[in-house]
């Protein structure tokens, strides 16, 4: 059975063209980019080319790109740097719906004596800029607000956030791991000071990322050692993966229109057909602006794990909004922050598409999903009244 992969916000397939681009850099062109000989030097040239490709996708200057080992590292490096740049400032602002890469760090910093404000979101997952204006002050060192949410796909108004942050003289970082490659952005006209992206979310391999650092913004590196990445991120470069990330960014630019037309149309169709075919369903964040590839959808009176495992039997890969592990028996922090009712939050499923999905695959999901939900609802002590009333 060929899998139907609809979990692209978790990770993506490496594009074959990306793989071809990186392939020579393991067994043949394995030189150290810092070496004086040409054998290593040619790798440095390819890394510089990759830097230009990433910069082009973001609309930045090549020297504003620092390669890292992952999205999490980029987030950590940015936030920790800002705190060192402003040692006298003790306040951090973020949101309740950030990825753990930001949220866990901020909560740890709170234990170390920093004042941390987590901005709330409304029922559609939207930010209240009024709240930001109220809490930001001269003590605020950094504001970290994600570009788009990994679970719901809701896009935040980062430019407006950045404008408010600028007025107070703080730094603005955005976790754009889910946004880069899916929606266009232009750092040359942006209020963003620092931005995190991750290779494995845009068809490059896992374990490589980058951070954008606006020219002129002070930076205190997190990793120190050699002079790599102009001493802003020491450690011998993961050359093959960096070269892959460059290629993946080039391709993402080329497929940007496809993502926002064909992929979006598939997502919209999936959403519309599910709503038409299955009763008591709600789309999380449906009133908000969302990424073109993401659908977070709640099926009342059933629990997410059962849905996932039954879909798994049909070869369909998706993910659930509630990790039913007892350590985190509560539904995801994102859905909780949105105030999604418990009845829905436990049965929330995320479908996240990519350019590799096809209309036939979406047809199959539309066909296979309704019986899965019916079956689980028939088993449930709560779902039956609903079924009989239909």
Partner 1 sequence: MWDYTDKVREHFLNPRNVGEIKDADAVGEVGSLACGDALKLYLKLDEKKERILDAKFQTFGCASAIASSSALTEMVKGKTLEQALHITNQEIADFLGGLPEEKMHCSVMGQEALEVAIAKYMGTEVKSRPHDKEHLEMEGAVVCKCFGITDLFLKKVIGANKLNTAEQVTHFTKAGGGCGGCVPKIKELIAEVIGGEPKEEYKRPEKLTNLRKMQLIQDTLEKEVRPLLWADGGDLELIDIAGVKVQIAFRKACAGCVSSGQTAKFVELKLREFVADNIIVEEVEG
Ligand X SMILES: Cc1ncc(COP(=O)(O)O)c(C=O)c1O
Residues 121 and 338 sit within 8 Å (Cβ to Cβ): yes
Residues 182-211 as x/- pattern, contact with ligand X by CB under 6 A: ----------------x-x--------x--
Looking at 9-17, 174-182, 265-273, 342-350, which segment touches partner 1 (CB under 8 A)? 342-350
Q: How many residues bind ligand X (CB under 6 A)?
A: 13
Task: Report if residue 327 touches partner 1, rule: CB under 8 A.
Answer: yes
The answer to whether 344 is a known catalytic residue is: no
The residue whose two tokens read 């809701």 is 154
Nearer Cβ to ligand X, position 190 or 241?
A: 241
Least spacing, CB of residue 73 vs partner 1, in Å: 16
SS3 label, residue 350: strand
Cite the beta strand spans of 158-202 per DSSP E. 171-175, 194-198
Name which of ligand X, partner 1, none residue 17 binds, using a CB cut-off of 5 to 8 Å depending on partner kind. Answer: none
Q: One of 70, 286, 317, 324 is an active-site residue; which one?
A: 324
Residues 25 and 240 sit within 8 Å (Cβ to Cβ): yes
* Cα–Cα nearest to 147, from 198, 106, 109: 198
Question: Could you give the CA distance from residue 196 to residue 75 in angstroms, rounded to a whole number?
Answer: 6
Nearer Cβ to ligand X, position 33 or 209?
A: 209
Nearer Cβ to ligand X, position 336 or 375?
A: 336
Beta bridge partners of 195: 174, 212
357-374 per-residue burial string, b: 16 or more CB within 10 A, e: under 16: beeebbeebbebbeebbb
Task: Report if residue 338 touches ligand X, rule: CB under 6 A.
Answer: no
Question: Could you give the CA distance from residue 17 to residue 23 in angstroms, rounded to a whole number?
Answer: 10
Looking at 47-55, 109-117, 155-163, 172-180, which segment touches ligand X (CB under 6 A)? 172-180
Least spacing, CB of residue 288 vs ligand X, in Å: 16
Residues 212 and 187 sit within 8 Å (Cβ to Cβ): yes
Least spacing, CB of residue 336 vs partner 1, in Å: 10
- Kindly list the catalytic residues: 324
Positions touching ligand X (CB under 6 A) are 70-72, 99, 101, 146, 150, 175, 177-178, 198, 200, 209
């Amino acid at each position: 059975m060929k899998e139907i992969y609809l979990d692209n916000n978790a990770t993506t397939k490496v594009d074959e063209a990306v793989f071809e681009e990186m392939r020579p850099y393991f067994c043949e062109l394995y030189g150290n980019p810092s070496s004086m000989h040409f054998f290593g030097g040619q790798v440095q040239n390819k890394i510089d080319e990759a830097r230009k490709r990433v910069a082009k996708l973001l609309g930045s200057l090549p020297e504003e790109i620092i390669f890292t080992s992952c999205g999490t590292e980029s987030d950590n490096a940015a936030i920790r740097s800002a705190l060192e740049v402003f040692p006298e400032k003790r306040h951090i602002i973020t949101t309740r719906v950030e990825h753990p890469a930001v949220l866990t760090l901020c909560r740890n910093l709170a234990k170390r004596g920093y004042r941390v404000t987590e901005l709330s979101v409304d029922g559609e997952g939207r930010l209240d800029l009024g709240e930001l204006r109220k809490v930001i002050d001269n003590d605020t060192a950094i504001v970290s607000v994600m570009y788009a949410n990994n679970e719901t796909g809701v896009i935040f108004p980062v430019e407006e956030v950045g404008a408010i942050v600028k007025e107070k003289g703080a730094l603005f970082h955005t976790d754009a791991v889910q946004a880069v490659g899916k929606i266009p952005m232009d750092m040359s006209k942006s209020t963003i000071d620092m931005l995190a992206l991750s290779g494995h979310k845009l068809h490059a391999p896992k374990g490589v990322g980058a951070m954008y650092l606006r020219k002129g913004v002070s930076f205190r590196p997190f990793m120190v050692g050699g002079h790599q990445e102009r001493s802003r991120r020491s450690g011998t470069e993961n050359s093959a993966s960096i070269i892959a990330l460059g290629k993946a960014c080039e391709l993402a630019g080329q497929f940007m229109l496809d993502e926002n037309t064909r992929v979006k149309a598939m997502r919209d169709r999936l959403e519309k057909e599910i709503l038409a075919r299955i009763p008591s369903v709600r789309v999380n964040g449906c009133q908000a602006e969302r990424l073109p590839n993401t659908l977070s959808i709640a099926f009342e009176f059933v629990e997410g794990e059962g849905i996932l495992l039954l879909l798994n039997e049909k070869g369909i890969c998706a993910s659930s909004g509630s990790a039913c592990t007892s350590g985190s028996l509560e539904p995801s922090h994102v859905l909780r922050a949105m105030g999604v009712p418990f009845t829905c939050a436990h049965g929330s499923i995320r479908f996240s598409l990519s350019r590799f999905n096809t209309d036939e695959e979406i047809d199959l999901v539309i066909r296979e999903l309704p019986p899965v939900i019916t079956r689980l609802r028939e088993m449930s002590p709560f779902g039956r009244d609903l079924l009989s009333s239909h």
